[in-house]
Structure formats: structure tokens, C-alpha cells
A and B are shown apart, each in its own frame.
Chain A
């Protein structure tokens, strides 16, 4: 009963943290468009909190480079478990058209584990919403195995 309640609450109340690695802002505008009255994702209980300590879902856009991989890792570690990472847009998936640039590390999954990949350049709001909903299903199922990560320090060495 309690477990059912917790699962339901997790599905019904996902809080986002949106981090733009070094995006052209195309995907970011599409994400913000989801918050507007046209798509209104607040009706799913989604709030864009700017703070990793309050967030459940991390939406990452843009290419990861040598500078912002540390920030990405810091933010990911500051989020309490259970958490879901969604990589939005081609650049976040694999580096996009900037893949061969000398400073680009590649996709987000080179730094942190990704749960949902949302393709597009930029990704459409409908796709983003679909991706978040898919992520929510995973989120509600994440259980005790996530808790085993507690206790380690919040920074990894590079």
C-alpha cells in the first residue's frame, strides 16, 4: 500500500532540473516551451526547479566538453536518489554535429548514466514530453538498488 502510494507520487510529481551543457539553446527553448500554456507540463505536476537537491529528473541538452563535465557530475551527484537522466537533442545523445570538435567529450552518457534518450535537433516538445513520461515510468520503478549508492562521496575524481 505504502509502496503503491510512493510509486504513484513519484509518477505524479516529477521535478525537473534543466542543465544546458553548451547547447545552441534550440533544445532549451523547446524545453521551456513545454512549460508554457501551449503544452503546460505543470498539469503533470512537473515543476522546473533550478536546484539539483530538489530535482528528480535531470534534463541535459548540449554537448559535454572538458569544462562542463565536472559541473554535470557535480549536479548529478547533488541530486538525491532515485533520479532519472534524460538526454535531450542530438548533441546530448552523442555530440551531434559538434562530435568531432577537439573540446567535445561526446554524449552525456560518457559522464553520467542516462535513462532516456530524446532525439531531435532540436527535439520537439511532444518528443520531450514523451521522453519525460518514459523516464517517469523508470523513476517509479527505481527502488532499493539505487539506495546502495548512498554513502559514497559526492565527487568523483577525474
Chain B
């Protein structure tokens, strides 16, 4: 592979992607005026988007920054790491939570052991490494992240008005958001596991601070839970790091992956622990409660951390490690576990009526599917995993932002309260329905990924059964939501509601971007995914005329997108014609009145016909099902980690 030597532009872009957000964060914290702060956020977002796009031309590259004023990067990061762990310990004391204290202490001890007894600094490590997988992650973090921060500006303003806050807390909010963007970029760009670990822990801390942002008791409780669970992940990570260093003598991710040292033993166990940490980060069972609790945070937080970027860290890590665990029992376990999560989370989502919780379970479900793809470890499944990795954050962010806008309007996040939302907020309702359509239907990207995953999983009996069941459950809860939104008395003229410009801009860009990217999926495959693959797996598909094809399957992306667009135009024409149809009220056995949904009841009293959705709580109820699912997940995890010994 052609490696680009450390050119000044590469260093500049990396600095912009990682360091600039940190500086912007400090600026946001110190600046008093909200107008100037917004400008800082907008500028930083713009620079991030530009840098990410410029990165496309520079990929792939590998970079070792020179020591800064005589202090090597490694030493700087180590110091910051200890500082970070001490901050976590401080929060543990402040909230009187023993698990946090214990885990932070444990990590400090292990880090000290590693630093002073094991580590020998080598000069020829490449600290940053960017291949196309990293590029894709950087693009998502920067573009989707920036758009979410843009939307956060009017959202937080309105949010604080609702809460009638006397003193604005937006300085804290944007400080942590910017910090987080920098941490994510740093995480995906880093090749040095220790730096990865530092950013890993930093994202945990950011998540904690953002969940606790509103300061209510519920928020604090959820934040503390997120902190201790993610600290458990961090502890597993540092143990794994020690194990890996002892076995391979290097901390470079790329070298570790290519290490031929596979077999039972400490190395494989360490990889299993890394997978374990990844599962916790991605809120897989039985650690999903932190993500569900995190839904109390303001919606931009949910959109950014808990659907698009932070939870993607886990899947990113496992996709990276996939070549290293190819062919092992560990890989099988990861596949089984991922499929199990996909199915269980979909089942739990069917029983939910809280919109944000449905989105949370859907996120967990899709991440489980990506884990299953990574675990299956065939070229097709890796491609499927990467496609899902690209499309899921965009659409999920869109859906979260829509739900946020809806919540601010109707003061509820329950799907039942969104019934007939089209009458009130037509454009937002339509965008939510578009998002739902893009989640479950061809020719859009998520279904392309699912199709590939099913074809890849066909030879694995347990995985395919769970994926088939989960896929059907997924359709059910999304279709139910889409139908509820559009439940409407006769819709006359389409008049879009008023929303702040930045909100429309964020929603519109995400919606249009997801649609266009779906059509460009073959291009995405050839230029972004195949370059990552060719090191470990032969490219499985040919793309000719925009049709993805391999010896036993074919998905005509481009022709189908054209046909879908044509069908959409025809359907819109039909809508226009139907607008001139005679209005009739829905059938209510002949006793309907002029008002939709109201009928003449006993004693000539007017009665409102109420409909509620099926949530099937007797089968898919959260409380009952969660216990069994957690048990099953625990068994699978024990199997996974124990099986490496």
C-alpha cells in the first residue's frame, strides 16, 4: 500500500480535526455572549467539515508527530490520561458511587503498572493512521457532528426558555460538545492504543457530563450509570492493553491486527476483552441500561453521542479487529452475540411507545447487526458492516433531531401523542417518515447493508434465524410509527411549519444526504470500502452500471433508485389528483359527524373515537423480556471471553 510521508498538509488537517475542537471548546466555555459562541460553533463546524472533505484526497496516510517542545506525544497523553482518571475518581467521590471509584482506581493502578514496568518507548511508532475506514468515521463525525451542533444552537436556546433558566448553561454544553468532537476524531485517527484509550475515556467523560447537563436527579442518576458502565469498559480495555503489549510488544493497532499470534492464550483473551469493552461502549446487552437512561439528555446529545458517533466507537473497534480474529471461536461468538442483540433489541422496541426509547433500542439493534457482520468475518459481511456503519449514523441522527423538534413542539416524546402530527408539523412529520423509510426500505443504504448481511450470514444457522426474526420485528415498529405520524384528517394544502433555519438546514441536509448517498452506494463501495478491504479480504462485489453483483447475488442500486424516484414522482402526482377528490370521513358505522374521528354516541352525545397502537406488551413488554435477554447476553459473553482460554 502506498503510504504518504508526513506532509505538512496532513499534519495541518490532523491538527484541525483533533486540536481545533479542543481550542473551540475552551473558547465556548470562556465566551459570555451567546451570539459569539454560536459563531465559534458554526466556524468550527465549518472547518471540521472542510477538513474532513480534504482528508479524502490525503488518505491513506500514517503520521508520527514530532515531540512538542521536547515532550513526546506519548508522555503528554499519559499525563492527560492520569488526569482524566483522577477527574473520573473525583466524580465518583462527588456522587458517592463505589463502582466508579473502584474502577477508576483499578484503571490508574493498571496504567501505572503498564507505564513504569512494561512500556519501553520506541521511536518508530506511527501514532496516527488513516485508511478509508478511519476516513469514513472522520467524515461522519465531522459532518454529522457539525450539523447536529448547528441544530443545537436554536434547540438549546428554546430548551433553556422552556426550563426558564436564569443563567445560561450553554457555555458548559458547547464546551463538552466541541471537546467530544475532537475526542472522536482523535480516537478514530489514532494508531497507538494508548492514545486510543485516552480518547476512549474522554468520550466516556463527555458522555457523563452531557447526560447530567440538565442537572435533575434523574439526569444525574443516568449519568452516573453511564459513567460506571463505561468505566467498566475502560477497565477491560486497559487490562487488554497490558495483555496485548506483553504478547506482541507493540501498541500499534495496525501491527497488532497483522500479528500472526493467534491461538488460545493471553493475546486472544485480550482481544476478547477489547470486544467486551466495545460491546459496553455500544450499549449492547446486558449493558443497555446506560443508553436508555441517557435519553433524558437534550436531544442533540442523544443524536450526537448516543446514535451517531460515540456508540459507533465500539463497532469501529471490532471492525478494525476483524482481520485479527478471523477464523477463531471468538469471531463466531461475536457474530452470535451481535445477532442476538439485533433480535432482542428489535423485540424490545416493539413493546415501546416512548419515541426516544424506540430510537435507542433501534440503535442498539443496528449496532448488534454490525457486530454480527464483523464477527461473521467474510468479505461480504465486512462490506455489509461498513455500509451499515456509514448509513446508520446519518439516518439515526436525522430521526433523533426530528424527535427533538417534535418534542419541543408537543412537549411529549410518546408516539401516541404524535398521532396526526402531520396536521400540526407537516414538514417535520414528513422528514421523520422519510427517515423511517430510509431505515427499512430498498434501495436505501441500510437495507442494502441488511441484504448483504443476510446473504453473508446464510451459512450460519443461528445467526441467520436471529437476523431474519429481527428484521421482521424491525419493520413492525418502524411502520407503526410512520403510520401514526400520518394519521390525519383530510390534508388540504401543504403548508410547512416554521422552524429555525439551522434546524431545517440540519434536517434537510441529513435527509438529502442519506438519500443521495444511498444512490451513490456503488461509488461508496468502490472508493471507500474496497481500499480498506484489500489488505485482508478480496473485494466481493463488482459494480457495473451501478449494480452490485457477486456470483450468487445482485442488487441493482442505481436502476432501482431511478425506478424508486420515478415511483415517488408518480405517487406525488396521485396525491395532487387526490387533493381534488371528494372528502369523506373515515367509516364509523354511519354515525360519524362533520368532525373527523367524532361520532354520535348514546344519548346523542358526541364521542371521540380513540385508537391506540398495538404495543404487544404481554409478549414484548420491557420488564419481563429484559431479564431474560440480559441472562442470555450474559451467557453469550461468558462463552465468548471464557472460550478464548
CB–CB under 8 A between A and B in the complex?
yes
Binding site for B on A (CB under 8 A): 19, 51-53, 70-72, 74-75, 77-78, 80, 150-151, 153-155
Q: In the complex, what distance in Å separates the CA atom of A155 from the CA atom of B593? A: 8
Residues of A within 8 A of B591 (CB): 70-71, 74
Please report the C-alpha to C-alpha distance between residue A74 and residue B587 in the assembled complex, in whole angstroms: 10
A80 to B557, CA, bound (A): 41
Instruction: Knowing A150-B582, A154-B582, A154-B584 are in contact, say whether A75-B594 is a contact too (CB < 8 A).
Output: no
A78–B587 CB distance below 8 A: yes
Q: For residue B600, which residues in chain A have a CB less than 8 angstroms away from its CB?
A: 70
Secondary structure call for the B interface? loop
Instruction: Name B582's closest neighbour in chain A (CB-CB).
Output: A150
B352 at the interface (CB under 8 A from A): no
Chain B nearest CB, measured from A46 CB (Å): 20
Query: Given A19-B590, A74-B590, A78-B585, list of 12 further CB < 8 A pairs?
Result: A51-B587, A53-B587, A71-B590, A71-B591, A74-B591, A74-B592, A80-B584, A150-B582, A153-B583, A153-B594, A155-B593, A155-B594
Task: Report B571-607 residues with CB < 8 Å from chain A CB.
Answer: 582-585, 587, 589-594, 600
Cα(A154)–Cα(B592), bound, Å: 10
What separation, in Å, do the CA atoms of A19 and B585 have in the docked complex? 18
Indicate which residue in B584, B589, B593 contacts A77 across the interface (CB closer than 8 Å): B584
Cα–Cα, bound, A80→B593 (Å): 18
How close is A61's CB to chain B, nearest CB, in angstroms?
A: 15
Say yes or no: B584 contacts A151, CB within 8 Å: no
Q: Among the listed A51, A72, A75, A154, which residue makes an inter-chain contact with B583, where contact means beta carbons less than 8 Å apart?
A: A154
Cα–Cα, bound, A151→B584 (Å): 10
B268 to chain A, nearest CB (A): 64
By a beta-carbon cutoff of 8 Å, the part of chain B in contact with chain A is 582-585, 587, 589-594, 600
Q: Which chain B positions have C-beta within 8 A of A74?
A: 590-592
Closest 5 CB pairs between A and B? Answer: A71-B590, A75-B590, A74-B590, A150-B582, A78-B584
Instruction: Write out the residue numbers on chain B whose beta carbons fall within 8 Å of the beta carbon of A77.
Output: 584
Complex alpha-carbon distance, A19 and B591, angstroms: 13
Q: What chain B residues lie within 8 Å of A52 (beta carbons)?
A: 587, 590
For the complex formed, measure the closest distance between the CB of A66 and the CB atoms of chain B, giving whole angstroms. Answer: 10
Q: What are the residues of chain A within 8 A of B594 when measuring CB–CB? A: 153, 155
Given contacts A52-B587, A53-B587, are A151 and B593 in contact (CB under 8 A)? no
By beta carbon, the residue of chain B nearest A81 is B582
Across-interface contacts of A19 in B (CB, < 8 A): 590
CA distance A145 to B590 in the complex (A): 26
Chain A: minimal CB distance from B588 (Å): 8
Residues from chain B with a CB closer than 8 A to the CB of A78 are 584-585, 587, 590
Residues of A near B590 (CB, < 8 A) are 19, 52, 71-72, 74-75, 78
Contacting residue for B582 out of A51, A151, A155, CB 8 A: A151
Q: With a CB–CB cut-off of 8 A, which chain B residues contact A150?
A: 582
Closest A residue, CB atoms, query B585: A154
Taking CB as reference atom, which chain A residue is nearest B590? A71
Chain B neighbourhood of A154, CB < 8 A: 582-585
CB distance from A152 to the nearest CB of B (A): 8
How far is A74 from B600 in the complex, measured between Cα atoms in Å?
Answer: 11
Minimum C-beta distance from B476 to chain A (A): 26
Query: Smallest distance from the beta carbon of B11 to chain A beta carbons, Å?
Result: 69
**In the complex, what's the smallest C-beta–C-beta distance from B582 to chain A, in angstroms?**
5
Which of B584, B589, B591, B600 is most buried by chain A, counting CB atoms within 10 A of its CB?
B584
Contact partners of B593 in chain A: CB under 8 A: 155
Instruction: Flag if B582 contacts A53 (CB, 8 Å).
Output: no
Taken together as a complex, chains A and B put the C-alpha atoms of A72 and B592 apart, in Å, by: 11
Docked pose: A124 CA to B582 CA in angstroms: 37
Residue in chain A with minimal CB distance to B588: A74
Across the interface, name the chain B residue whose C-beta is closest to A157.
B594
Q: Write out the residue numbers on chain A whose beta carbons fall within 8 Å of the beta carbon of B589.
A: 71
Can you name the residue of chain A whose Cβ is closest to the Cβ of B583? A154
Q: How far is the CA of A68 from the CA of B452 in the complex (A)?
A: 59
When chains A and B are docked, how far (Å) is the Cα of A18 from the Cα of B511? 48
